[in-house]
Amino acid sequence: MDYYVITTSGEPSTAAILVEEFLLDDDYTATGIDTTVWRPAPDGPGGEPARAAAGGEGPSDVVPGARGWAGAARLSRALRSDAGLRARMTAVDRRAAAEAYTRVCGGELPSEPELRTRSERQPLPGETPLDLGTLGGSSGGARRYRILFAGELDAGALASARTALRLEPSDDPRVAGAASAGADGHGFSWELRRIGTGIAWCVDVTARLGPAPATALGTLLHHHRQAVRALGPVPVTVERFA
């Protein structure tokens, strides 16, 4: 599961905690996101500080009602489209989320099975990749994936991304770096690309699968998604082009 702490004016006392889980198909493409959010009790007649912590100026009613857990598909979508909301968001691991929850709520963060029962699902559009006779199952088979992220990488975060993804400089000016590796008889290569200016980034992965099970592919896609997520951009989807 992915955890985020969202604050107003950086105040931990008004933190909302968003929990997301990407749903993956058998080929490791994303088919949906399950989301739930905890937000503090409204502060004042309109509860504006708490609502702002939960969703910002636009989606201020995304988590209506009393303090506690609720489905958060609308907030999840807003996080990917609203740069102002992302500026108040910090990607954390479960331990840090549990500490934030205890600090603002005084209780223990629910277990992941319990969080799943409180989640709201938002499907992600997906299409069957075009099969040109080069997919899977043979040493020459290739699959192409894109892990898409909303948001920006500043200079420091970009340097950290190059380290985390083990990138080497590329001759292509559109590519921030490229790398390759092998595992379990499979060959992988990937590139970090900017999409637009301050809009989005992506990691494009090419996998040439051998006869062994493709679990190493799933591990690599998960690692790359988490490595970039930790630096600020929010993962949007994992697509497959071929």
Tens digits of per-residue pLDDT, 61-83? 333 444 688 899 999 999 999 88
Domain 141-240 has CATH 3.30.310: yes
From CA 207, how far away is CA 129, in angstroms rounded? 14
Pairing of strands 186-195, 89-92: unpaired
Residue % of the chain over a pLDDT of 70? 79
**Which pLDDT score, from 0 to 100, does residue 9 have?**
60
How far is residue 147's CA from residue 222's CA, in Å, rounded to a whole number?
A: 10
Nearest to 90 by CA among 156, 6, 174, 178: 6
The pLDDT of residue 49 is above 60:
no
User: In the chain, where are the structural domains located?
Assistant: 2-123, 141-240
Rounded average pLDDT over 216-222: 94
Residue 222 has pLDDT above 50, yes or no: yes
Tokens of 40: 């503090």
pTM: 0.82
Report how far residue 14's alpha carbon sits from residue 39's, in angstroms, rounded to the nearest whole number: 8
